[in-house]
Structure 1
């Protein structure tokens, strides 16, 4: 398993459960619609503080809806995951639990309203996602399946709710991909192609969440070894969002298998894209330099690979959080350096 596929084991959970924001039918309140679009765009472009300001305004203006709190949690999670810093657990939990309470009351008051059902599905999806990235897998699966079930119900009522296809399509693909060894059983369906079909449909039709459908499909193409398709899709997304690390990670990973030097170039772009305030953040630096060193080694540039390994191992004063995150990787860096020193 490649380094970025390890990273993707978390990312795909994110896109499985984060995957639907709103349908291709814009939310009826034009002000809510505008604030959502602006806030989501800020998250894609990693302008997290600005996104929080927008979603705080939404929460103040429409406290009867859970959307402000859901996306305040989303922004906090995205920033911590992107920057590799500890989650603000109490704040995120408060946002999501409050959003869940609001959503359940809305469903109780009017269960026939498809938006109310959608709010609950989305809230449960984010709770599952947050549980997953913190390692609470059993709880994440339970809540996540409830979310997917609600999205299924939504599509049965309104097949034009296009963004629901992202969550369901991603779920169908990875459920089948991770249980391929059971596909010979009569009650286990292989739904990988159906998952890809759903996501391709979502890419063409989604409004708010085009970016999530695209990213999920990029990583599925990589899993299927359809690297050219992954590169084409990632480059299309980067034409629209040139500063987005989300798409550049996928682009770099896809290039590993057909043009390692290009992959190296793209990984360096990711490494150099973090804001100056994060220059002291060691997790991203170590992770990316290790991945780049592996690519250098693959193409025979041993001295460049050795230099990066030595740079990594010269880093000192790790925080407890960084030590925990990097313990396994630093062992692998030492192993790679020992291998390189034999040449």
Structure 2
């Protein structure tokens, strides 16, 4: 489910409402956005959407309500791995950009307008990447980060903006390391991490999301001990949050704590199975990782059972296409495990069943 886990370089602002939760000197709006963010972290998307629809009704010509409602739609889509709300999300982000530009025409120094415009482009870029539209994704991300950098030029104390900039610089460098010999593909990872740390330390609303983002970065950077520390901090604050548990379970896995990782994947598996919108995508994610763990522990009987369960899930054509590589890996693990079990029993191995294509 998590974007970093799926390996996209435009991880920039997953669910990162916190990146700009600070609002334009409006205590009422600020408190409502904070409440909506907490509801989203707790996976209470309907509650968050109700709050942000209220902001749109009360502030129809300001971009904040449209941005946070769109961000909530994105969070729900990513949590469910279901993109039925994609059109509504895109329209809300386009409205955010339009209203932000109107505000900038009235006042070119409106950092809030710049912030919301930039953040909307970044959110659009991530959904583009999920749809495989990588060039459009990169273009929107570059536009967004350009606006966030303009925010800092106008107000260097706008620390929340450092998170998006630092995240973009890190993941762009991480995913283009093989091209670092080219002058326009320099390695900025070491410079990017301090920007994110600054957002966590000094930003008004970026602490939780900054920790979550940096945990994924540390996993990628080969520092799983630091990743686990950050993931545990968020988990202890919101143990019910699936967002933070996806990060924690990956941190356990990267840290080599396989038993804890397995137990948490099993917990997430049972939870996603209870969701009325379950399309089996996240079941596949959990079952495959659980099978990987059992294979490493040489529990081949468990691997065969888990992969058989995975391969027998009834999938829509759309989910079948998106999970093809995962199901191929599951079949590979199943075949290897059957061979290992046959060796133990001194019998000839034969794998029955496949991917049901």
Q: Give the structure-1-normalised TM-score.
A: 0.91
Q: Aligned in 2, Cα 1:275/1:67: closer, same or farther, shift over 3 Å? A: farther
Per-residue deviation at 1:31?
Answer: 1.2
Gaps of 5+ in 1: none
* SS of the residue 1:190 aligns to: coil
How many angstroms apart in 2 are the aligned matches of 1:320 and 1:245? Answer: 26
Structure 2 distance, partners of 1:90, 1:129, is 14
On the 8 A contact 1:19/1:163 being kept in 2, the answer is no
> Does 1:42 find its partner at 2:43?
no
Q: Secondary structure at the match of 1:46?
A: coil
Counterparts in 2 of 1:124 and 1:260: CA distance versus 1, 3 Å: same
What is the alpha-carbon distance in structure 2 between the residues aligned to residue 111 and residue 302 of structure 1?
63
1:307 is the counterpart of 2:327 = no
User: Shift in Å at residue 164 of structure 1?
Assistant: 0.6
Q: 2:263 matched to which residue of 1?
A: 265
Q: Secondary structure at the match of 2:158?
A: coil
In the TM superposition, residue 211 of structure 1 has moved relative to its aligned partner by 2.5
State the structure with more CA Rg: 2
Q: Which has the higher contact order (CA 8 A, sep 6+)?
A: 1
1:129 and 2:126 matched: yes
The CA deviation at 1:238 is 0.6
Give yes or no for contact 2:22–2:30 (8 Å, CA) kept in 1. Answer: no
Are 2:194 and 1:194 aligned?
no
Structure 2 counterpart SS, 1:264: helix
Q: Distance in 1 between matches of 2:278 and 2:120?
A: 34
Structure 1's 18 and 169: CA in aligned 2 closer, same or farther, altered over 3 A?
Answer: farther
The reply on whether 1:249 has 2:222 as its aligned counterpart is no
1:83 aligns with 2:80: yes
Displacement of 1:175 after TM fit? Answer: 2.0
Q: TM-score when scaled to structure 2? A: 0.88
Displacement after TM superposition at 1:325 (Å): 2.1
Please tell me whether residue 274 in structure 1 is matched to residue 272 in structure 2. yes
Task: Give me the whole-angstrom Cα distance separating, in 2, the residues matched to 1:18 and 1:5.
Answer: 10
- Higher alpha-carbon deviation: 167-176 or 128-137: 128-137
Q: Cα offset for 1:19?
A: 4.8
Give the structure 2 partner of residue 235 of structure 1: 232
Q: 2: CA distance between counterparts of 1:6 and 1:221? A: 11
Moved more, 128-137 or 181-190: 181-190
Q: Find the residue that maps to 2:271 and give its secondary structure.
A: coil
The size of the alignment, in residue pairs, is 339
Superposition pairs of residues 114-193 of structure 1, within 5 angstroms = 114-184=111-181, 188-193=185-190
Contact 2:3 2:14 in 1 (8 A): no
Counterpart of 1:31?
28
Paired with 1:126 and 1:225, the residues of 2 have a C-alpha distance of 27
2-side partners of 1:301 and 1:279: how far apart?
A: 32
Structure 2 residue runs without a partner (length 5+): 341-357
Residues in 2 aligned to 1:260 and 1:122: alpha-carbon distance in whole angstroms: 36
